[in-house]
Amino acid sequence: MIIYIVIPAHNEEAYIEKTLDSLVNQSLRPARIVVVNDNSTDGTQTIIDAYSAKYSFIEGVSNVSSEVHAPGSKVINAFYKGYATLDSHYDVICKFDADLIFPANYLETVAEVFKSSEQVGIAGGFCYLEKKGEWELEDLTGKDHIRGALKSYRKSCLHDIGGLKKAMGWDTLDELLAQYHGWELRTLPSLKVKHLKPTATAYAKQSGYMQGAAFKRMRYGFLLTMIAAMKLAWKKKSFTYFLKCIQGFLPEKQNYLVSPSEGNFIRKLRWRNIRKKLL
Residue 243's contacts (CB-CB under 8 Å, 6 or more residues apart) are 208
Looking at residue 81, which CATH number applies to its domain?
Answer: 3.90.550.10
Say how many domains are in the chain: 2
**Antiparallel, parallel or unpaired: β 150-154 and 92-96:** antiparallel
**170, 195, 220 - which closes a domain:** 195
Of the candidates 195, 217, 243, which is a domain's last residue? 195
Q: Would you state the pLDDT for residue 278?
A: 86
Q: For residue range 48-103, what is the model confidence (pLDDT) as tens digits?
A: 999 999 999 999 999 776 555 556 688 999 999 999 999 999 999 999 999 999 99
Residue 168's nearest CA partner among 69, 238, 100, 98 is 69
The yes-or-no verdict on residue 142 having pLDDT over 80 is no
Better-scored residue on pLDDT, 231 or 193 = 193
Domain boundary among 147, 164, 195: 195
Asked if residue 229 and residue 172 are part of one domain, the reply reads no
Do residue 179 and residue 273 come from a single domain? no
**How confident is the model at residue 200, as a pLDDT?**
55
Query: Are 191 and 218 within one domain?
Result: no
Q: For the whole model, what pTM was predicted?
A: 0.92
**145 with 36, same domain?**
yes
Shared domain for 28 and 164, answered yes or no, is yes
Kindly report, residue by residue over 178-189, the tens digit of the pLDDT: 999 999 999 999
Q: Are 7 and 36 in contact (CB under 8 A)?
A: yes
Categorize the per-residue pLDDT at 149 as very low, low, confident or very high, splitting at 50, 70 and 90.
Answer: very high
Residues 227 and 138 in one domain: no
Domain range for 271 is 204-278
pLDDT, tens digit (0-9, with 9 covering 90-100), for 242-256: 999 999 999 877 789
